[in-house]
Chain A
């Protein structure tokens, strides 16, 4: 069967199911089953069970529930309020105000966590109620969070980058270095957009009252525990105490210690934090089951590989290749999560990219950004799902709110193409 037809079938089935209010996880599972039934002779149900078991019991995934739990603890123990009270006085004059905290906190949290879903869930849990309290428009809260959450994969450590590094034999340490400056730049670009928005619409939100210097100082001192927590977790990774995956558990432990010291840890907050984490985790896991199985079905059909082969037959110029690949990965991102996109296509894409003369470190950074863009595009975008789970807004609303962030990322891809040294400078200096 030709690729165009099979793609149409996948597209139609997925959009129909999602459109008729079928739960996202179930829509993905059913689309994949249909694909398996039409295009392979493999036993569907047994393949489903083995895939689900393999992915759900995988050790690399254990960081996700733990980070989600950490966010729940911080949210339930006033730490988030302290954090915002500490930062608010310094943001009064900034156009866009506390929305910058969404970006800043995501960037910092991204340095602890390896996934963008965990970043959105943790920061969102703390930031959304505080920003709502202060009357910031939902659209901006949700839109900036969706975008900034993608920093989770760009700023090291990053699970996708490890997978990429292993797939193309690039040094993971160098990849991490290469992603550092782009990560910070992208964060600044998100902030730039928020500032621009703030200049035009600033009057809409309510600022925290003006404070004198001593009040500022005491609020600032309130930040110290949270800063200490973050430094401790990052320190444990780079100090050789824990691996990036294990650091999540230290984050949970540290949050409990802080909550205990601030006397906000009670039996009730503990139980609530656990049940809250379980609900969010399970919601994400159900969708992950679906996307994992869809990825298997797509692998069997060979569509991603076939599409990549089509691109290679065009033999485009380097610039045209990058443009085509950007569109290609955004399209794939409609169905697949970032890791599946990388694993299913790199065998064909890698030689093409090498032949076009791109540096594989640079390409790795570029690839992280484009697969991350797919996290905030409908119908399948994990950051959107996590935000839907947390705010109750429909995914359409969230996706529209995320459009500016998406455009900012497009702009950043252009900048990365014009100034490749954004990615390449740091690894070359630190050698």
Chain B
């Protein structure tokens, strides 16, 4: 179990690295559009590709951000609960997010399949077949769904290891 868990964490981190690389790419693409204008080239699809890079970047990092508690929630109630009640609340919250994330992942895949079947193209100057940039986005959403299920399983079967009542302070949210 811990081996698999550690393996998955590596994958999330890999997603985050990829997201970082795409952020750099996004910046370079925008700089390229500025340069192109100065020199008099037509940057055409650059802004479309920048959009795809951003979407992929956000989706690829969803899992890593979730696992490292980067997504936010309201903890007014949970901070007042202790022991079994707190655990029940955690289970509920993790059930909801794994449900929502799986739903999202399923339909992002359907979006890709539909775009592929139909041969849908971008309306921008890039004229790209949309399933191409949509596929990595769907993969990111699947990774996100896996990470939520992963943490749900930990909450269900290995609650000790992430018990929020132990060591509440600190954590990655700190500046």
Contact = CB atoms under 8 A, between A and B. Distances in A.
Interface residues on B, range: 35 or more
Interface residues of A, number: 66
Given A48-B107, A49-B111, A389-B70, A56 B65 contact: no
B108 A279 contact: no
A45 B107 CA distance: 6
Interface in A273-317: 274-275, 277-283, 285-287
Contacts of A29: 100, 104
Interface string A371-404: 0000000010000010011111011100000000
Nearest to B78: A21
A250 B33 CA distance: 11
A396 B79 CA distance: 12
A24 interface: yes
B160 interface: no
Contacts, number: 198
Most A Cβ at <10 Å: residue of B33, B65, B134: B65
Ranked 9 nearest A-B pairs via Cβ: A249-B30, A45-B107, A392-B173, A49-B111, A274-B20, A285-B58, A57-B55, A57-B51, A49-B107
B74 A281 contact: no
Contacts of B23: 65, 69, 274, 277-278, 281
Contacts of A101: none
Given A57-B54, A57-B133, A65-B26, A22 B96 contact: yes
Interface of B: 16, 19-20, 23-24, 26-27, 30-31, 33-34, 37-38, 47-48, 50-52, 54-55, 57-59, 61-62, 64-66, 68, 70-79, 89-90, 92-93, 96-97, 99-101, 103-104, 106-108, 110-111, 114, 133-134, 137, 171-175
Nearest to A68: B23
B96 A56 contact: no
B34 A242 contact: yes
A270 to B, nearest CB: 9
Interface stretch (A12-20, A153-161, A202-210): A12-20
B interface, over-half SS? helix
A19 B77 contact: yes
Contacts of B111: 46, 49-50, 53
A214 interface: no
Interface in A222-248: 236, 241-242, 245-246, 248
A356 interface: no
Given A69-B27, A279-B16, A385-B72, 10 more contacts: A26-B96, A26-B101, A33-B100, A45-B106, A46-B110, A52-B104, A245-B30, A283-B71, A392-B175, A394-B75
A30 B27 CA distance: 33
B104 A279 contact: no
Given A46-B111, A56-B59, A394 B79 contact: yes
A62 B71 contact: no
B74 A396 contact: yes
A35 to B, nearest CB: 14
A271 B20 CA distance: 8
28 contacts: A22-B92, A23-B72, A23-B73, A24-B72, A24-B73, A24-B74, A29-B100, A45-B107, A53-B137, A57-B52, A62-B50, A65-B58, A249-B27, A249-B34, A250-B31, A275-B20, A279-B65, A279-B172, A281-B61, A282-B70, A282-B71, A286-B58, A286-B62, A390-B175, A391-B174, A391-B175, A392-B175, A395-B74
Contacts of A56: 54-55, 58-59, 137
Contacts of A281: 23, 57-58, 61
A167 to B, nearest CB: 21
Contacts of A283: 65, 70-72
Nearest to A397: B76
Interface string A61-105: 110011001000000000000000000000000000000000000
Nearest to B19: A278
